[in-house]
Every structure is written in C-alpha cells, then in structure tokens.
Structure 1
Amino acid sequence: MTEEELTILPEEKRETVETSYSGDDIKTLDWKEHIRLRPGMYIGKLGDGSQNDDGIYVLLKEVLDNAIDEYMMGFGKQIDIEVSEYTVGVRDYGRGIPLDKVVDVSSKMNTGAKYDSKAFKKSVGLNGVGIKAVNALSTDFYIKSVRDGKSIAIEYSCGEIVSNSGIMPSDEPNGTFVRFTPDNSIFRDYRYREEYVVPLVKNYTFLNTGLSIYLNGKRYYSRNGLLDLLKENLTTEPLYPIIHLKGNDIEAVITHTKQIGEEYYSFVNGQHTTQGGTHLSAFREAVSRTIKEYFGKNFEYSDIRNGIVAAISIKVEEPVFESQTKTKLGSRDMGPEGPTVAKFIGDFIKKELDNYLHINLDTADILLKKILENEKERKAMAGVTKAVREKAKKIAIHNKKLLDCRVHLSDPKGDEDKKEASSIFITEGDSAAGSITKIRDVETQAVFSLRGKPLNTYGMPLVDVYKNDEFALLRAALNIEDSIDDLR
C-alpha cells in the first residue's frame, strides 16, 4: 500500500496496517551479528575506557579469566600481558586449547570445556560466551594455541575468519595467546588506561597467590593474598592488625578504621563481584552475628560494622551470576551437592573469627571500644539530626542559599536527558554565586553558596559535623537525608 493510499484510510484502520507484521519481519542473526547489534547483553556498558567498568576492560577480563582458570587448575605459573592504548595481548602457559577445537571455542557460541565441572571445577566462565564476544567486537582478533609440540593460529576480523594456519610443528611452550583490538566504531574514541588496568591485574595476583603476571614487562605477584589487597587499598591506618582467615575455598580479611560506613571487596572464583551478591550478604551477616555473640551484648549490627573494611573470596562450583559481566553472584549453593553459600560462609566465620578473638584479646578489646564508640555516636546523632534538619530547611528557604534548577534527578516528571545532565555549582560566598547565576542554564544548573570556606571535617565526631550549619544547609539543598538515593 502506497503512502498516499494509507493516508486516506480511517485512522483506526491506518494504525492496523502500519503495525501489522509478517514472517518477513522475523530475522535470525548469526552469533557475531547478534553480539555486535546488542553488545550490552554480553559486556554491559560500552564506554571509552574512562571508567573502570567500561566494555574494553570487560573484554580484557574475559580473555584473562581463561588464563587464570588454567592457573587455578594447576597449569602455568605465569601470564604475560601487553597492553597499549588500543590493543591487548595475553599469553598463558597452561595446557593450550585442543588444536582441533580452537575455531569452535573462539567462534561458536555456547562452546567450551567449562560445562564439565571435572575439567574446570571452579571456573569463573561457564557459558562459552566471553571470548566469542571479544572476537565479534574486535576489528583484529588473533588466537594461537600451542600444545605438545604443535600449534594452530587463527586470525579474525569482527568475527569473520581472515586466516587459518592449520596445525603446524612448534617449539614454543604449551599455552594460549590471544591478541585483540576493540572495534573503534563500537567503542568510540576508546583507549586503555593504566590506572584501571593495573588494579585489575593486582586483584588477580591477590586472589591467586604464587601467580606471576607480567604487565608490559613489570611483574605483579602476591604472597599474602587478600591481606596484601587490603593493605593496598586502605586509605587510613587500621585500628587493629588485619584479621586474616583462610580455609578450603574461602579467604577473608577484616579490620576497622576511623572512616564512616562500610567498605567491602568481594570475589568469586577470582572474579571481582563489584556489586556483591549472596556471598557478600552472607559474609556481612556472619561477621556481625559472630562478633555480637562473642561479646554477649545486644549490639546493633550497624554499630558493629561502622568503619569496617573487609574482603571475602570464595570458590563455587558452577557459579550463577546475574549477568554476563559477572559483577554480582546469584548462587544460593556452593555446588550441586554442596551446602548453601550462607551456611558455608556462616560456619567458617563463626568458627575462625570466634577463635581468633579468643586468642587475640588485644584485638578484641580494640574492637569492643570501636563498637561502643559507634553506639554512643549513633545515639547522640538521633538527638541532633531532626532538629538540625528542620533548622537547615528554614535557613535555606529564608536565605535562598539554593537557587534551584527546573529539572533535577529527583524530579519524577522531568525530561530524562535533562535529569541526567543536571548539576549544581557549590560556591564560596554569595559573590561567586551571583556571577555564576547570571550565566547558568536555569533548566539544568543549580547554584548553592557556602558561607566562606567549608569546615575541614576530617577526623571529627560525626555529631559535630552534623551540627555544622553549612553542612546541614548543603544536605538540605542536595536532598540527602539518611541516603544518597534521593539526591536532587
């Protein structure tokens, strides 16, 4: 039907014609076309490398995970990584992919050895997807396997085979080499940044003691596992020596600092689960309950955990993650025939942490003092927060400290693009605020003026911070009460 014929139909019939579909509208994409059309399903957000969870780092992790799995199975104690701004190469010294299956594992979806838990008992990659995503999303993808004096090398471009060397004799040590260049038409203006690659590599060494990873020729190695990780990431001195607990398929480190809130690092089968999951929830619960029972007092869990910095790593058979990017564990059980994750972690922490505190009484005393301080501060806060909040709102309204924008994050009816673009200028004094007010975009840019320099609150009791008028005014302006979820 032509456009002219369509326009003379009654509106209700016109809509039917426009929205009807036939068998011609049903399409089947091959593996690489689907990955390239819907990359977010496989690697999360794309990005350009300016954030540590951008897609190009997921591509690196997918390749590196396979090398780590070989080490975890007892093959190869070294991994070599070369990273330039645009290209990555990873060489492991494991068993090497079976030569007749290199094409299959690199270009056939849902193909791999990790469906059989006997070959890769506690692997992080189980779906046979990761390396295919890397292949499809790279303009140049090269894979070479060396196995028992023979090798095969295959080169792809955007998932299409460019060359295949066939099986040839080789004097190289066993292992697999993968080199890839992400597609710049998908990851626009990307580049790999050392500040994100180095922590990624360090985490792998912390979780695999005895493994040497050479990144652009520099060796990274850990003797003490998560203990080294926590020392690396602490931004202030611990209140007591870091508690380090190790068992079969589990490792944990715990300490407290003067900082406010809770800070955790969680891992499953060597994968950094940045969004936590069932294992982190079980760990937080087990630590709180064990400490509460040790002291025999009815402490609030929030008082026990305020200031805690800790890490937990477990190994699970056939882990279930909530997405292909594997940032959150969904598994309820340790394996097909194992205990639940909660019971496994709970039993371990109950035994090992309780024993530790009974043996290390100095640490227990410091911990008790910290919990009592948290309790005292929480109760004091309850008495001042409401009064300060009400005072702040009155002052803010009266003095017009906040010159709001028309659209902000907490605006339910606001334009989504504008909400994401909304921002606030925090100025020192009314004069600076006045200058910005004259040139701001009133749709998306708010202005808030402080009275002179803000208070340096480092190390101050939280009650004193909350009593500070300028801090209270700023909290009111940002719409932050007990959570940042309602941020304007």
Structure 2
Amino acid sequence: MTENDELIHDDIETPESAGATPAPIPDYDEDDIKTLDWKEHIRRRPGMYIGKLGDGSNFDDGIYVLIKEVLDNAIDEYMMGFGKQIIVDVADGTVTVRDYGRGVPLGKLVDVSSKMNTGGKYDSKAFKKSVGLNGVGIKAVNALSTEFFICSVRDGQMKSVLYRCGDKVEESDIEPTTEANGTLVRFTPDASIFRDYAYRDEFIVPLIKNYTYLNTGLAMMFNGKRYISRHGLLDLLRDAMTTDPLYAPIHLKGDDIEVAITHANQRGEEYYSFVNGQHTTHGGTHLAAFKESVSRTLKEYFKRDFDYSDIRNGMIAAISIKVEEPLFESQTKTKLGSRDMGPDGPTVAKFIGDFIKTELDNYLHRNTDVADIILKKVQESERARKAMAGITKLAREKQKKANLNNKKLLDCRVHLNDSRGNEEKKLASSIFITEGDSAAGSITKIRNVETQAVFSLRGKPKNSYGVPAKILYENDEFNLLQAALNIEEGIDGLRYNNVIIATDADVDGMHIRLLLMTFFLQFFPDMIKKGHLYVLQTPLFRVRNHKTTKRGARGGSAAGDDTYYCYTDEERIAAIEKLGDNAEITRFKGLGEISPEEFRGFIGPDIRLDRVSLRKEDAVAELLEFYMGKNTMERQNFIIDNLVVEDDSQIG
C-alpha cells in the first residue's frame, strides 16, 4: 500500500455488503445478439470515439473533438506539402472547414465520409506520419451531426454529399469547377446528443494556435482572424508562459523532432507534448523519454550528482515528434503508447535520447551563460528541497498516523492515473473539495462512487500567498490535500481529472474558493493550465409551483416542469414569469440546505462547472497581490466603492 492509498476509505457499498439479495440473471439467447450499423453504434456509444460529450463549457468537450477530427485531415494535407491555408468558421453552432490540399478522390467521397475503417492513411507511403490512421474520425463527426456536408475539388472537378444524422440524403454528380483544389466540410453537432451546446472561442483559439505552432508557415483563418507561427514551439512557450523565463528558451530542431526548453521561478514542471500534430495532453512514451533525457544530459554536463527533480523544478518545455503509425491509448489520442518510431525505426526513447544528448549538450557548451543560469536554478532547488527534508519527513509520518482514522477523503474506484481501465471513466474521475462535513453531506450520499470522490476541509484553509513551500507540509489541510491528489511530485500522478471546488454561495464560501485557487496558483499552476481545476456551480434559487407543492410534488429531478432551479437572477425572473402567482421561491445559501435527491442532478450529467483558467494576459501576480496580499486598506476601499446591495424582497 502506498502513502496515497492510505487515504482511501472503504465507504463504497456493494449489494453483498448491504445485505441485498443478488438480482436473478436474465435469460441470454440468440435474440440478445445484435449488430448495429456504423452510425447507430457511434450515436449509442459516442464516448468510445470522442471521449466525453459535454456542452462546450470545457476545452475537452466532444464538440471540440469534432472540430479537431476534421482539422486533422486538413493538417495532414499540409504536412504532405499541399495547401498553405486552412479556413475555419464557427457560427450559430455550425462549423465550416475549408482546406486547399489535394481534395478527397471524388469516387471515394462517400466511402471516406460514411464507411468505417475506410481511409487513405493505412499505407504509410501516402501519409507517412499522420495523426488520423484508423479511418474513424470524420465518420464520427458525420454520425454525431444533424447535418454533415462534404465537398471535394480535385483538378477542375467537384463532387459533394449531404448527410443527416449519418444518413445520406443528397449526392451530386461530378461536375466541372474553377474552384481551387481542396476539401470543404460543414457540420452541425446533434443537439439531442450535445445538449444545450455552444462553441466558445476561448477553447477553439488555442486549438488553432497549436496547429500553427506545429506547422510553421501554415496560415489558419478563424472567423476572419489570421493565425500563423514563424518560430514553432518557441512561439508556443512564449505565449503560454505566465511568468518571465530565467533565460531565453532553448530551441532545438531535427528530423521528426522539435523541442523548446527554459526554466522559470515557479514550483513544479510544465510540459506541452505533441505527436504528429496531436496535442497529447496526457503525455506518453515520448514525454517520459524527453524528461529522462533532458535530466540525464544536464546532470552529465554539470558532472554533479543532482536529483532529477531538482533539475526539472521550474522547467517549462515543449516537445513535438513525428512517428510512423503512432499507437495511442484511446481514440481521442491524448496519450502516446508507441514504443517505436516506426516499423523499421529506433525506439522512441532512443530517438529522443540521442537527439537531446547531442543537441542540448552542444548548445550548453556553446552558450555557457545559459548553462550557468540553469546551474544556479538547480542548486537553488536542491537547497530548498534539502531544507524541507526534515519538515517533509515529519509531515509524512504525521500524515500516516492521521490517515488511519482520516475521514476527510471519501474516495472513488476509478482514477485518472490508473494504468488500466475504461478511458472514459478515467476522464470522468472527479474530486469535490468541500467546506466542512455538512456541505459534503449531500454530495457524499448521492455521488457516483465509481468516479466521484469527496475531500472535506476542516475549515477555512490558510492564505498561502507569499508563503514558502514548506507550508505544504506544515499545514495539515494542505498536506493531506496534496497527498489525496497525489501531486507532491508534480501533476503527472494526478489521481483525478477534475478537481472541483464545491463551496457555499455565500461570503465564507467565496472566500474559501479564493483561498483554494490561491493555493493552486502558488504551488501547482500547471494543474490550472492543463484544465484540471473547476468551481462547482449550484443553483441560487428553487422556484416551484406553490399549489403543486402543496399537493405533494417533490423537488429534484422528479419535480417535473413545476420546479425550476435557477443559477442566476435572470433565470429566477424567467421562472417566476412562467409560474406567476403560484411561484414559491427558495434561496439556497449553503450546500447543506439542498437535499441529497435534489443535489443528484447538480453533480450528474448536467453538472455545471466553471473552469479556472490561467493565461499570460491575466496578470496573475498582480491579481494575487491585490486580492490576497497585505494591502488590507486598499482592498477595503475597493469593496466600499464597488459594493452592490442585493434586493431580497422577492425571495420568499
């Protein structure tokens, strides 16, 4: 059992443990065996093809995967040397992508858009280092769209096909045209699958930018704005960093590999990894080899027995490689599983290791000033780690004792860092950080024990702004929290894909939110940059039909159309207008005020989450200094000048 395993508490009740009688096993015969056609299988099991569904409020929601699947084909054309521009337009929920590659062979336009396992990338001679190899992506987009239109222009001829929910409704003849070669795809995601979805530019723009970083010289137009990169991963690092680098990033390029490396005065490590243009947000064999190679090369260059963690502390880096026939761990391609660069190539580890050993070592010998800065940073990290060694040891011993009776973490069965298991469930793994036992009560009773854990704070956490890292171990709350998340050594071992702050919608609750966000911004900013931190939105009001309520209607999902849960004043006013004089309004101020049955819908499929984001232009240091620093009087005057008095006269 590991230290983190000791935080797990067996509150997961099974039918056997509860004393329930096992349900009888139903009959199973030939009539139970069914064969679904391609589109029906995709529509019934979309998670197998695009990961989670979502409504567009998170960067990894399925509607963005649909865009990526179409763009991947356009990018592959550019990588093969065809087409210098890709145009993307998104309006009213409909996406249009136009590339200027060779165009899909006209006679196979129907096949490539509607026949599973059909594509032009199985033979590596045609698409040597493509990201889309299995002939599935664009078919998934077709099946999951209410309308899907594809048109190909090839050497003065054009053909188009129109589908609705995967069914072909119109196919044109091959006709002459003066249009430039290429492919146009237009699709509208099915609102019955992606409920209440809406595209957000804040998630599409980073996707577009990543494509330009990885394909220097490619111009991408998104809703009329042009994006282009001249310096590849160097541009990515410059745009992504929220703190100033200690030295100008090291930029190294070779055949099928590009890397950029620097250090900053921040805790932990931060990486951006790509394979064949695919953003591998969960890393894989290439990222592991890169981290190992950089650490070993720096250690050998300095001829010091440095700990790898000290070498990488504060490191911000990006790596992009191109692999023949890459093997990913799921259809969403977020983690590389390939061990080899290709059927006849070296291993990924050897390829990256040889490149880093040669190129980084040469760079350091040519740029001794940069080497000196890195050495100073590594030595500072080493001193800080050794200074905290005693504190860390005592904290871990204390943690072990506390864990024997620690009831603050109620764990789930599936975790993000599980070596095996259902990929969709791992991505759904979540932990709710709540304020006190009463707030955790409703969530604990109705959570999904497969994928939802609960960590209950003892009270308000300490303000961690401007304090040294030793607070992570000296403060019991932070010590147990970082251990529960398994992020002490960085976020590679993060146990939950979604870390959700769940506090009351009152002044104290908002204060706790700020304190927790400050904690993560100070010590684990990469968790925010990688999109793992969220704030749970719960309804402020329940508006229901007073007469129906008196007749015995209950709240929650069973309440029907007579009950409305409102997250804003606008929603409350709209609900009151619908119910008129019969409206009964309840103001929720604490999570404990919401019954478990009502809460079920708020952390289920329709959960509302606000992702905590971190961008260069946010000026985070200044924000933290103002809101969490020692300038008490300045904040007090700001609050007085901007105070808004809420009118509760209509709330009964």
**TM-score between the two structures when normalised by the length of structure 1:** 0.85
1:454 and 2:463 correspond: yes
Equivalent residue number for residue 20 of structure 1 = 28
Equivalent residue number for residue 411 of structure 2 = 409
Partners of 2:434 and 2:440 within 8 A in 1:
no
Partners of 2:458 and 2:477 within 8 A in 1:
no
Cα shift readout 1:366-389 (whole Å, capped 9, x = no counterpart) = 100111111111111111123356
Give the 5 Å matches for 1:38-49.
Answer: 38-49=45-56
Identity of aligned residues (%): 64
SS in 2 for 1:309: strand
1:102 and 2:109 correspond: yes
**1:30 positional shift:** 1.1
Letter of the aligned partner of 2:460 in structure 1? L
Partners of 1:396 and 1:477 within 8 A in 2:
no
Cα distance in 2 between the residues matched to 1:106 and 1:409: 43
Relative distance call for 1:479 and 1:285 in structure 2 (3 A) is: closer
Partners of 1:393 and 1:476 within 8 A in 2:
no
Give the 5 Å matches for 1:96-245.
Answer: 96-245=103-252
Equivalent residue number for residue 84 of structure 1 = 91
1:59 and 2:85 correspond: no
**1:146 positional shift:** 0.6
1:300 and 2:301 correspond: no
Partners of 1:389 and 1:472 within 8 A in 2:
no
Cα distance in 1 between the residues matched to 2:56 and 2:152: 29
**1:130 positional shift:** 0.5
Q: Work out the number of aligned pairs and report it.
A: 449
Relative distance call for 1:442 and 1:393 in structure 2 (3 A) is: farther
Equivalent residue number for residue 269 of structure 2 = 262
**1:423 positional shift:** 3.8
Cα distance in 1 between the residues matched to 2:371 and 2:224: 43
**1:27 positional shift:** 1.2
Partners of 1:294 and 1:354 within 8 A in 2:
yes
Cα shift readout 1:107-142 (whole Å, capped 9, x = no counterpart) = 011111101111111111111111001001100000
**1:455 positional shift:** 3.8
Equivalent residue number for residue 50 of structure 1 = 57
The CA RMSD over aligned residues, in Å, is 3.0
Partners of 1:396 and 1:473 within 8 A in 2:
no
Cα distance in 2 between the residues matched to 1:442 and 1:91: 46
Letter of the aligned partner of 1:454 in structure 2? N
Partners of 1:251 and 1:313 within 8 A in 2:
yes
Letter of the aligned partner of 2:313 in structure 1? N
**1:15 positional shift:** 5.0
Cα distance in 1 between the residues matched to 2:302 and 2:274: 29
Equivalent residue number for residue 479 of structure 2 = 475
- Structure 2 runs not aligned, ≥5 long: 1-22, 415-424, 446-453, 501-652
Cα distance in 2 between the residues matched to 1:201 and 1:242: 22
**1:420 positional shift:** 7.7
Cα distance in 1 between the residues matched to 2:270 and 2:439: 41
Cα shift readout 1:322-346 (whole Å, capped 9, x = no counterpart) = 1111111111111111111111110
SS in 2 for 1:239: coil
Letter of the aligned partner of 2:84 in structure 1? K
Relative distance call for 1:423 and 1:341 in structure 2 (3 A) is: closer
Letter of the aligned partner of 1:195 in structure 2? E
Cα distance in 1 between the residues matched to 2:430 and 2:348: 41
Relative distance call for 1:168 and 1:260 in structure 2 (3 A) is: same
SS in 2 for 1:261: coil
Relative distance call for 1:350 and 1:394 in structure 2 (3 A) is: closer
Equivalent residue number for residue 11 of structure 1 = none
Equivalent residue number for residue 289 of structure 1 = 296
SS in 1 for 2:377: helix
Cα distance in 2 between the residues matched to 1:200 and 1:283: 23
Partners of 1:393 and 1:473 within 8 A in 2:
no
1:317 and 2:327 correspond: no
2:359 corresponds, among 348, 352, 357, to: 352
1:36 corresponds, among 40, 43, 61, to: 43
Letter of the aligned partner of 1:166 in structure 2? D
SS in 2 for 1:189: coil
**1:298 positional shift:** 1.1
Partners of 2:457 and 2:477 within 8 A in 1:
no
Cα distance in 1 between the residues matched to 2:36 and 2:480: 52
**TM-score between the two structures when normalised by the length of structure 2:** 0.64
Partners of 2:472 and 2:479 within 8 A in 1:
no
SS in 1 for 2:266: coil
Cα distance in 1 between the residues matched to 2:244 and 2:431: 37
Letter of the aligned partner of 1:475 in structure 2? N
Cα distance in 2 between the residues matched to 1:466 and 1:478: 8
Equivalent residue number for residue 344 of structure 2 = 337
Cα distance in 2 between the residues matched to 1:442 and 1:131: 39
Cα shift readout 1:154-175 (whole Å, capped 9, x = no counterpart) = 1000110111111111111010
Letter of the aligned partner of 1:317 in structure 2? E
SS in 2 for 1:363: helix
**1:87 positional shift:** 1.0
Equivalent residue number for residue 74 of structure 1 = 81
Relative distance call for 1:300 and 1:338 in structure 2 (3 A) is: same
Partners of 1:144 and 1:177 within 8 A in 2:
yes
Letter of the aligned partner of 1:50 in structure 2? S
Cα shift readout 1:275-330 (whole Å, capped 9, x = no counterpart) = 11111111011101100110111111111111110000001111111111111111
Give the 5 Å matches for 1:325-404.
Answer: 325-388=332-395
- Structure 1 runs not aligned, ≥5 long: 1-13, 427-432
Partners of 2:271 and 2:317 within 8 A in 1:
yes
SS in 2 for 1:367: helix
**1:20 positional shift:** 3.2
**1:80 positional shift:** 0.3
Relative distance call for 1:273 and 1:396 in structure 2 (3 A) is: closer
SS in 1 for 2:388: helix
SS in 2 for 1:117: coil
SS in 1 for 2:132: coil
Cα distance in 2 between the residues matched to 1:240 and 1:262: 16
Letter of the aligned partner of 1:285 in structure 2? E
